[in-house]
Amino acid sequence: MPNTVDFYLSKGFDRPMAEYFARGRKRLAAVAPQHDFTLLLTYEDGEQRVYDMKPLLEKGGVFEPFREYAAFQRVYLDDTCSVAWDIDPDIDSSVVWNNKVDICPDGCYVDSVPLSEYKAVS
């Protein structure tokens, strides 16, 4: 039963995440900030998707420092391929771990839309 949607559902995953894991995880190759506060995600297989950051930015919390585009555009992929920002760009987040805010790469895939679909509604 491993690697099936039913297996992941039995472990408590919601359906979109269960379907994602059953198909196999995707690895991010690049992230690029867009002026509309979305992220253009490029995966190792060449697939491109758009992740809308506006809902997270509007909530504030840990993402509040990135409401300004100058801070938002400092996004990068960390050593685990998570989408990340350093709260203080002058501090090395690999040394001071609580300086980094990140988003799980699996969640980025599930909560994003294919670039072609995003362009169709933009």
pLDDT of 3 higher than 80: yes
Apex CA 65: angle with CA 38 and CA 100, to 5°? 90
> How would you label 40-73 residue by residue, b for 16+ Cβ within 10 Å and e otherwise?
bbbbeeeebbbbbbeebbeeeeebebbeeeebbe
The pLDDT assigned to 74 comes to 97
The pLDDT assigned to 2 comes to 73
Q: Where are the domains of the chain?
A: 5-121
The pLDDT assigned to 31 comes to 98
- pLDDT, one tens digit per residue, over 5-44 is 999 999 999 999 999 999 999 999 999 999 999 999 999 9
Closest C-alpha among 24, 28, 26 to residue 79: 28
Domain 5-121 has CATH 3.30.2020.10: yes
- pLDDT, one tens digit per residue, over 46-94 is 999 999 999 999 987 899 999 999 999 999 999 999 999 999 999 988 8
The pLDDT assigned to 109 comes to 98
